[in-house]
Amino acid sequence: MKALLVIDAQNGIVTKKDFSSVLHSIKQLISIFTSRKEPVFFLLQEDEQGNGDLVPGN
């Protein structure tokens, strides 16, 4: 079994510069893995106080 790990692909990270090609690749991989019913895990950084670029919910 394979699994896909998507790490820190969130607004506070991907809006800092042009990540459009990376995001396109991530979306393609997510689609491939979900169509094969293989697990996809998302890991996000969250700042509990809502300070800085990474805020809860993004």
Whole-number Cα distances in Å, 37 to 4, 11, 18, 32, 33? 11, 26, 30, 9, 6
Which domain does 24 fall in, by range? 1-58
Q: Is the pLDDT confidence value at 48 over 80?
A: no
pLDDT at 46: 67
- The least confident of 14-18, 33-37, 45-49 is 45-49
Adjacent-strand bridge partners of 32: none
Whole-number Cα distances in Å, 20 to 26, 27, 32? 10, 10, 18
Number of domains in the chain: 1
pLDDT at 5: 95
6-34 pLDDT, tens per residue?
Answer: 987 777 667 778 888 988 999 999 999 99
Report whether 57 contacts 22 (CB < 8 A): no
Q: How much is the pTM?
A: 0.71
